[in-house]
Amino acid sequence: MGVGDLFARLTGRAEPERAALPSAPTADDLEVALVRVEAMVAAGAVPAPVASRVARVVRVVRDTVPRLDRLGAGSQDAYDVMATATRYLPEAVGAYLRLPREWANSRPVDNGRSSLLVLVDQLDLLGRTMDQVLDAVTRADAVALVAHGRFLAEKFGHPEGSGALSLGAAPVVPPASAGPGQPTPLPGSTS
């Protein structure tokens, strides 16, 4: 309890209202944001380098969203994925689309680079960052799979990692000469 809260209680004043924090976007919210960006690109008739880079970022974000829970609450990577879908990507594309096409594609605005080149650099950075996040979360799943495989190999079979599990004796297949009611010879026997 803060000093203001204590003072309000002692003097009989109503408790100050607390500002409600916005909730984290859901997977559906992120998908809606990505669909909006795709619609912006389609309606804006952007050059192919922009469209392909936006598509790459959108694809990687979509691949990452189902795995966000593996990144942990408060993870910077999870925040970066959410912010890319809801802010970074739409703001970059929107800023470019507000400019006249010819002007954006030809006039230098930043160290001799046009707005188009600035946007392409931003999209490349977002793409690399999202690739790294997806790689990190997927690598964690792959490490878990390898660890589980080693556990199974130690528990049931070949701890050397030969790739084959021994789940018991091989099944005995009766030879074609054994008829009904005749005993099946054991493997390796000569009877």
**Amino acid at site 160:** E
Element (H, E) at 76: helix 76-83
What pLDDT digit, counting tens, does each position of 112-171 carry? 999 999 999 999 999 999 999 999 889 888 888 999 989 999 888 865 555 555 455 555
Cα distance between residue 80 and residue 30, in whole Å: 12
- Report, as an integer, the average pLDDT of 163-184: 55
Q: pTM for the full model?
A: 0.67
Q: Are 52 and 121 in contact (CB under 8 A)?
A: no
The pLDDT score that the predictor gives to residue 93 is 96
Q: Residue 64 — very low, low, confident or very high, per pLDDT cuts 50/70/90? A: very high
The pLDDT score that the predictor gives to residue 111 is 92
Cα distance between residue 118 and residue 112, in whole Å: 10
